[in-house]
A and B are shown apart, each in its own frame.
Chain A
Amino acid sequence: MNFSLIWPEVLIAALGFIILTVDLVLPRSQERRRNVVTGSIAAAGMLAILVFSIFYLRGRVGVLGADLYLADRFALAFKFMFLGAGIAVVLMSIEYVGSRIRHPGEYYALLVFSVLGAVLLAGAGDLLVAYISLELLSFSLYILVAMSRGDRRSAEASTKYILLGALSSALMLYGISMLYGPSGTTSFRGLAGFLFYNFSPTVAVGFALFVAGLGFKLSVVPFHLWAPDVYEGAPTPVTAHISVLSKAAAFALALRFFIEAGSPTHERWALALAVLAALTMAVGTLTALPQRNIKRLMAYSSIAQVGFVLMGIVANTPLATDAVLLHLAGYAFTNLAAFMAIIALEHRTGNEEIAGFAGLAARAPFAAMVLSAALFSLAGLPFFAGFVTKFYLFTATADAGYIWLVVVAVLGSLISLYYYIMVMKQMYMGTAADGKPLAVSRLTFATLLLLFAGIVAIGIYPAPFAEALESATAVFAPFAGR
């Protein structure tokens, strides 16, 4: 096996341990310093690995074991996305962790391990590798959710997350065993042919259970019920992390599984997934309407977004796969920008209620502007990433013949505009009880500016992003039925 292909993964793991060690060495009394040092190591380390991967992995592609682990362009694209998102989450955490989280070293180390889990997931070409990577990601997240200091909601959310996560993980493992039993293989590519000839009820049960486990990670309706409670209870940077990293990682797995293992049997599973997509869009959008808490609102909003992306997997055409990747990239910028702005505003006002955002445009005009841009992007309005990526996604889905699904998606987008604009209405039309300007730190400002630039860049000039991602999805070219 050619282990030189997984140097970036090894380095990410090493980075996690380095952070833990540094945390041990630094005196416990200097909590502030520990936070800044370990946070900086995490951000700088991931940036260094990102840059290293760009040069190191150029032209280096290959497979480890018999389809166990795939170091291809698709995995590489997600590697960049996860490391980038990880850096952004660390940057938005530094201020927050200082006052609200007890163990900064462990916090950053767990963030790095969750990134590692996600990166491995994107490269998994085998059900078991996928399962283990998913568990690494999930366990890191279970702990991260519980880390809020003295907040009972945080502990409660984590407990729920663990219980339901364990249930769905058990279902998934059970599904894997039912697929492995009759087929004798756990590799995606190996399963493809088997599924095509032997889609017996037993295999169907295995397939359904695996999809259910995946659906939990993706928070697809009706496996989504954990999401709002966890989003609300988790420390806000962790919420951002779950909404971007764990979603995108699960989608990387879903894309790989449904394309490599599922393409020949597309007609069998497409309708089931289409029903789930429609349900997810409808429930996510409608339940978001009466929400009062910004984090719960973002939870339902990201559930609805999952429904949109799922359409691309249902369509299962090269165009749709490109669209899914582009949408995930745009969504990563957008959601990170939204959460960054929410943290900047919420951290100082201490108020998570949407009503508490009243008059913030006057107090922190830049953060309010970025949040508005991100919300417009989520709603899919022009000049922002969401418009272009949704346009690609909807076009691809319609081209594949799922017009009814696109109709649901368009209606969902339309309704979603309402609750996004309600937040903006509070910020711009509402009056704050306290009119003093909110200070936004230089670090926050710079990160916000960078994310905002990303949203606008994809929204105005998507071609370079789309072209880069097309080279990533080219790895799926050989799969039949596409």
Chain B
Amino acid sequence: MFSEWAAWAIIALPLAAFAINAFIVRPLGAPAARLAGYVTVTALAVTLVLSVLALMAVQDAHGTAGYEPHLWFAVGPFDMTIGIFLDPLTAIMLIVVSSISLLVQVYSLGYMRREPAHGGHAAEERAVHAGAAHAHDAHGHGGDAPVGDGVSREHPYADYPRYFAYMGLFTASMLGLVLSSNLIQLFIFWELVGLSSYLLIGFYHWRPSAAAAAKKAFIVTRIGDFGFLLALLYIFSHRAELMAAGLNPFDIRDLHQAAPLLGPGVVTWIALGLFAGAVGKSAQFPLHTWLPDAMEGPTPVSSLIHAATMVAAGVFLMARMFPLFEESATALNLIALTGGFTALFATSMGLVVHDIKRVLAFSTVSQLGYMMLAVGVGAPVIAMFHLFNHAFFKCLLFLGSGSVHHSVHTFDMRKMGGLKRWMPVTYVTVLIGAISLAGIFPLAGFWSKDEILVAAWEGDTVGRLVFLFGIGAAFMTAFYSFRMIYLTFHGEFRGGIDAVPMAERIPDEAHHAVHRHESPRVMTTPMVVLAGAAVLSGIVANAPFDLGIVPAHWFAHFLEEEAPHFNWPIAIVSTLVALGGIGLATLMYRTNAISAEGMALTLKPFHVLLSRRYYMDELYEGLIVRRVLYRGVFQAADWIDRHIVDGTVDLAGWLGRNTGRAMAQVQTGQVQLYGVGIALGVVVILLVLLTQGGG
């Protein structure tokens, strides 16, 4: 039996790591900074152990471990509750989040360590940037001495306390989200995830691009969150029906039974509102624009965001609330179409980018599209299976890109090439990740992608349509995965950061030079572990046949779903398509049989369209924000604010102050006058008493 205290401890431990790092380690300054990493790693190691125990308990209990929700506050008949909801879905997510987070933290121990400076110029420049940091984050850093985080920026562990504090908060928020038994509770953690991702994407807040990316991520996801909030309010407005049936309007278990009470129309609107939240968090079209920019954070952060914490929240919400979605065909079709379209749309943009992390970012958007597609065709378990597999190989790929950066100090693939010569571990692990991403038998990505395609194929018209989207996306995914491998690891080395002119470098990195070495073991070990998972997670967790220790289709049965069946034609088609993508990439980037530049020239309009990401950013920033909102709405609002609102406020303030002064005049200090007040009071009470009911 897994006690409820242990479940709360899963949230509390990383939160404690946050508190310790933020309030104890950080004020201690330089000598203690190094401890921050160990605090978070230890907390997460225990969390992982607890998560495994939770999984085993759920397995033994054959379903939900029932914890009674606790009353948070009550207003009249409405009870607002909080609690732990630990079912197989949560148990799986706990494993994903805590294991990925632990590996990322271990990796960060190496990655976030600063390298010693290479001379006076660089040190001077960084001091300037540390000054800028002061101005940006005045409340956090205000009184600290001597610069920045209370530790000189030259210190190798200068970034540790703040980084590991935020990471603790981020992980705690996500774990709290998956454990929530109440939709409002879930929403609170949902927003905390948004907040901590904002803090981490903007970790290098002295870089304007990082500050902008953090803001963009926060604002774009907020647009989706608004839909979530509307759904909550809409549920609340229908609380009477639910409470009459003895259900708590926000309890997730109760909401699972709520659909028949609410009727299809209401359910559709609620589902669409929740889906809007998921579109924002899981970076689906049209709110996908924040994710590629979120690369500005430290690479391990991207890894965590893309694999387990931030973007997974949207898919998790869909799976969590699926009993509600199930009742609305409209909502499901919209989800399937959005997911399928996003899968195709995002992969196409991944074809042309040069930044290795952005390639991965677009692949995340499209893989999330696959998951949404699976939810939309009525297969949330398969979506979760893909999320599970994707978490491992995507985390691996990002850690690999960070490892590459550790050596060449750039993310631009045009400046790489031939890295496999001195980065054998990184090469092999990233290659495994790429094959898994491409969906080649028998790696993890193959199994879940294949099941998604089968589920889509077996659906109705919408299902068939999104199946085609999925096949198209599979081809392009395989292509750009291997384009990335070839450009990064094969061929001649093209100079790394040494080939970047001084003027184009990010100031923080201006002093760096290429080191031809493999990353330290603290970074490669997590990658090797993840590579093992990327190979095995698919086949072991949901094997089509009995493996001895693990029964066949364990994952699906665990989530109480029928086993998906293996469809040979679709498996063969999707594998051929993926191999075709790899083949084309080989021809273009390995053997150079087809000239990539020539292709770009021939298809120039397409190439430009893709490079500019379909002009979506321009559409949002230029047209909607600048023209429509800024010139139209904001300026009108500004006028109203200045003339009407301020005027009213000023008047009210003037009135209040002067009435107050007038009233204070009564306060003369004369006891006689006070006595008159008492007498008057008696008269007033008496008059009102006598007029009421004709005494």
Report A's interface with B, CB cutoff 8 A. Answer: 159-160, 163-164, 167-168, 171, 199-201, 204-205, 207-209, 211-212, 215-216, 220-226, 228-229, 267-269, 271-272, 275-276, 283, 286-291, 319, 388, 391-392, 395-396, 399, 415, 418, 461-463, 466-467
Contact of B689 with A268 in the complex, beta carbons under 8 Å: yes
Contact assessment for A286 and B688 in the assembled complex, using a CB-CB cutoff below 8 Å: no
Chain B residues positioned under 8 Å from A221 (CB to CB): 681
**4 tightest CB-CB pairs across the interface, nearest first?**
A289-B660, A272-B688, A225-B674, A463-B71
Contacts of B75 in A (CB 8 A): 391-392, 395
With a CB–CB cut-off of 8 A, which chain A residues contact B569? none
* Cβ contact of B70, chosen from A204, A395, A463, cutoff 8 A: A463
Cα distance, A272 to B693, chains bound together (Å): 12
Q: Check B689 against A207 for contact (C-beta < 8 Å).
A: yes
Q: In the assembly, what is the distance between CA of A291 and CA of B461, in Å?
A: 72
Contact of A225 among B72, B657, B673 (CB under 8 A): B673
Stretch at the interface among B129-137, B296-304, B529-537, B664-672: B664-672
Inside 8 A of A267's CB, which chain B residues have their CB? 692-693
Assuming the contacts A223-B678, A415-B656, asked whether A388 and B73 have C-beta atoms less than 8 A apart, the reply is yes
List residues 637-695 of chain B with CB under 8 A from any CB of chain A: 653, 656-657, 659-661, 663-664, 666-667, 669, 671, 673-675, 677-678, 680-682, 684-686, 688-690, 692-693, 695
> Within 8 Å CB of A225, what residues of B?
666-667, 673-674, 677
Q: Which residues from A are CB-within-8-Å of B680?
A: 222
Contact of A275 among B71, B73, B669, B684 (CB under 8 A): B684
How extensive is the interface on chain B, given as a class?
A: 35 or more
Secondary structure at chain A's binding surface: helix, strand, loop or mixed?
A: helix
Please tell me if the beta carbons of B682 and A204 are within 8 angstroms of each other in the complex: no
**Residue of A268, A291, A392 with most partner-chain B CB within 10 A:** A268
Q: Smallest CB-CB separation from A205: which chain B residue?
A: B686
* CA gap between A275 and B684 in the complex, in Å: 9
Which one, A160, A171, A215, A269, contacts B689 given CB within 8 A? A269
Query: Do A167 and B664 touch across chains, with their CB atoms under 8 A apart?
Result: no
Complex Cα spacing A163 to B674, Å:
10
| Contact call B663/A283, Cβ cutoff below 8 A | yes
Contact B682 A208 (CB under 8 A): yes
A171 to B667, CA, bound (A): 22
Is there an interface contact between B692 and A167, defined as CB atoms closer than 8 Å?
Answer: no
30 contacts between A and B (CB under 8 A): A160-B674, A164-B671, A171-B682, A208-B686, A212-B678, A212-B681, A212-B682, A220-B681, A222-B677, A222-B678, A222-B680, A222-B681, A222-B684, A223-B678, A223-B681, A225-B666, A267-B693, A271-B692, A272-B685, A272-B692, A286-B660, A286-B663, A289-B660, A290-B657, A290-B661, A319-B76, A395-B75, A461-B72, A462-B72, A467-B71
Residues in B602-653 with C-beta less than 8 Å from chain A: 653
The docked-state distance in angstroms from the alpha carbon of A209 to that of B671 is 19
Name the A residues within 8 Å of B686 (CB-CB).
204-205, 208
Tell me the minimal C-beta distance from B630 to chain A in angstroms: 30
Asked if A466 and B663 sit within 8 Å, CB to CB, the answer is no
- Cβ-based interface call for B74 (8 A): yes
Question: In whole angstroms, what is the CA distance A399 to B667 when docked?
Answer: 36
Q: Contacts of B682 on A, CB cut-off 8 Å? A: 171, 208-209, 212
A456 to chain B, nearest CB (A): 14
Q: A208-B689, A272-B689 are in contact. Are A164 and B70 (CB under 8 A)?
A: no
**Cα distance, A34 to B451, chains bound together (Å):** 82
B72 proximity list for chain A (CB < 8 A): 461-463
Nearest Cβ distance between residue A154 and chain B, in whole angstroms? 14
A243, B684: Cα distance in complex, Å: 25
Bound complex: CA A141 to CA B212 (Å): 60
Complex contacts, A164 vs chain B, CB 8 Å: 671, 674-675, 678
Question: Measured between alpha carbons, how far is A451 from B684 in the docked complex, in Å?
Answer: 39
B671–A163 contact, CB under 8 A? yes
If the complex has contacts A208-B686, A225-B666, A290-B664, are A200 and B671 also in contact, measured as CB distance less than 8 A?
no
The one of B74, B669, B688 in contact with A463, judged by C-beta atoms closer than 8 angstroms, is B74
Residue among B73, B689, B693 with max Cβ neighbours from chain A (10 Å): B689
CA distance A396 to B72 in the complex (A): 18
Residues in chain A near residue B673, CB distance under 8 A: 225
Residue of B nearest to A463 (CB): B71
Q: Roughly how many angstroms separate A434 CA and B553 CA in the complex, as a whole number?
A: 73
Q: Are B685 and A211 in contact (CB under 8 A)?
A: yes
Evaluate contact between A268 and B663: CB separation under 8 angstroms. no
The CA of A268 and the CA of B659, in the complex, are separated in Å by 31
CB neighbours (8 Å) of B685 from chain A are 208, 211-212, 215, 272, 276
CA distance A346 to B197 in the complex (A): 42
Q: A164-B671, A223-B677 are in contact. List 6 more A-B contacts (CB 8 A).
A: A199-B693, A215-B685, A226-B674, A275-B684, A276-B685, A287-B660
In the complex, residue of chain B having the shortest beta-carbon distance to the beta carbon of A159:
B671
Tell which of B657, B678, B695 touches A289, judged by Cβ atoms closer than 8 Å. Answer: B657
Q: CB-CB contacts of B401-443 with A at 8 A, as 1s and 0s?
A: 0000000000000000000000000000000000000000000
| Bound complex: CA A283 to CA B47 (Å) | 55
Cα–Cα distance between A84 and B71 once the two chains are bound (Å): 26
Residues on A with C-beta less than 8 A from B73 are: 388, 461-463, 466
Chain B: minimal CB distance from A126 (Å): 22
Residues of B within 8 A of A229 (CB): 667, 669
Closest CB-CB distance, B80 to chain A, in whole Å?
9
Chain B contacts for A220, CB-based, 8 A: 681
Known: A205-B686, A289-B660. A215 touches B692 (CB 8 A): no
Give CA–CA (A312, B631) in the complex, Å.
49
Closest B-chain residue to A467, C-beta based?
A: B71
Contact status B661-A160, CB under 8 Å: no
If A271-B692, A289-B656 touch, whether A160 touches B671 (CB-CB below 8 Å) is yes
- Check A216 against B678 for contact (C-beta < 8 Å): yes
Chain A, Cβ-Cβ closest to B686: A208
| Closest chain B residue, CB of each to CB of A388 | B73
- A229 and B669 alpha carbons, distance in the complex (Å): 7
Separation of A467 and B695 alpha carbons in the complex (Å): 39
A391 to B72, CA, bound (A): 14
Interchain CA distance A208-B74 in the complex, whole Å: 36
Which A residues touch B677, using CB under 8 A? 222-225
Q: By the criterion CB–CB under 8 Å, are B671 and A268 in contact?
A: no
Q: In the complex, which residues of chain B have a beta carbon less than 8 angstroms from the beta carbon of A201? A: 690, 695
CB 8 Å contact bits of B45-79 with A (1 = contact, 0 = none): 00000000000000000000000001111111000
B663 touches A204 (CB 8 A): no
Given the complex of chains A and B, what is the CA–CA distance between A164 and B674 in angstroms?
Answer: 8
Give the distance in Å from the alpha carbon of A204 to the alpha carbon of B690 in the complex: 7
Q: Would you call B657 and A171 a contact (CB within 8 A)? A: no
Minimum CB–CB distance from A478 to chain B (whole Å) comes to 21
Which residue of chain A is the closest to B682 with respect to CB atoms? A212
Would you list which residues of chain B between 94 and 118 have a CB under 8 Å from chain A? none
Which residues of chain A are within 8 angstroms of B659 by Cβ–Cβ distance? 286
Specify the chain A residue showing the minimal Cβ separation from B79.
A463
Q: How far is the CA of A171 from the CA of B675 in the complex (A)?
A: 11
- Chain A residues lying within 8 Å of B667, measured Cβ to Cβ, are 225, 228-229, 287
Assembly CA distance A221 to B653 (angstroms)? 22
